[in-house]
Homo-oligomer: A and B are copies of this chain.
Amino acid sequence: MAQFQRISRSKCFDGFQEIYSFFSKELQCTTRFSIYIPPKVNRENPAPVLYWLSGLTCTEENFIIKSGFQRYAAELDLVVVGPDTSPRGCNIDGEDKDYDFGTGAGFYVDATTEKYRDHYRMYSYVVRELPTVIEENFPVIPGLRSISGHSMGGHGALICSMKNPGLYKSVSAFAPISNPMVSPWGQKCFKGYLGENNQEEWKHWDATELISQYNGPDLHLMIDQGSEDEYMDHLFPENFVEACRKYSIPLDYNYRDGYNHSYYFVGTFIGQHLKMHSEVLKSSK
């Protein structure tokens, strides 16, 4: 742990909510992540891990402050890790200009455009580098991991699991950007990170496109979507639901009457998501 710096540590539901920073090789910058260690989890009693991916504008802090997940993670003996949503401070011209591109909007892809390809590698960071760091340094069971996220992070969770059959034992999402190729948010980021005239490449990072190719074990896939979501025209959950139906992919889809896009929605149902992940992870031991 010599290369780590602990930023904060707070007792919460008898466990500890911590934030660390370290230099990421994939992102080529110093980055932060949050980790919650439940009370009964330690070196002698390691636990499975849920990775949580946050949405546009978030850091590693929003979810740990706003969702109240710690109560459930403490009950379920589930370690929960949350990366930042992009590299930061990379001195790329224009990086800090918009809320929905660049800083705070890494979109969980590996960029190929000249400006962004050296730093904006959130996909490889989330799928490979961060789990290695976590498994080497914290009391977790290697290989026993699931993934979830909100909005842009819901998109990230979906593509990370579908692009790596079996790597995550279960996947869930709150109001995910389900078909970014047709979403204004998705198109803006795909243009900037993957190139404007590169739609074939875009398909490799779009959940609704990927699901038609999926050929692996049961994803254990759960999605919650609020009916009053104010960003519905960026999300296209109906396209993903239809693709799952068409390709016979099991999906537990919960359309929640009256809920919007906020963390009030996430906080209401996060307990049900953690319970699902915990059950799948325990049965995968």
**How many copies of this chain?**
2
Q: How large is the interface on A (under 10, 10 to 19, 20 to 34, 35 or more residues)?
A: 20 to 34
Residues of A within 8 A of B (CB): 10-14, 17, 65-68, 70-71, 226, 228, 256, 258-260, 262-265, 267-268
CA distance A260 to B18 in the complex (A): 13
CB distance from A39 to the nearest CB of B (A): 10
CB contacts (< 8 Å) of A226 on chain B: these are 11
Which of chain B's residues has its CB closest to A74's CB?
Answer: B268
The answer to whether B12 touches A264 (Cβ under 8 A) is yes
Top 6 nearest A-B pairs (CB, nearest first) are A68-B68, A12-B264, A10-B264, A11-B258, A11-B259, A13-B268
Q: Which residue of B is nearest A262, CB measured?
A: B10
Chain A interface SS verdict (over half)? mixed
A11 cross-chain contacts in B, Cβ below 8 A = 226, 228, 256, 258-260, 264-265, 268
**Contact between B10 and A260 (Cβ–Cβ < 8 Å)?**
yes
B70, A267: Cβ atoms closer than 8 Å: yes
A258 shortest CB reach to chain B, Å: 4
| Residue contact B65 to A263, C-beta cutoff 8 Å | yes
Interface centre among A68, A256, A260, A265 (most CB of B within 10 A): A68
Chain B residues near A67: list those with CB within 8 A: 68
A68 CB contact (under 8 Å) in B71, B259, B260: B71
Can you list 20 A-B pairs, Cβ within 8 angstroms, ordered by A? A10-B260, A10-B262, A10-B265, A11-B228, A11-B258, A11-B260, A12-B264, A12-B265, A12-B267, A12-B268, A13-B267, A13-B268, A17-B264, A65-B65, A66-B66, A67-B68, A68-B68, A68-B267, A70-B264, A71-B267
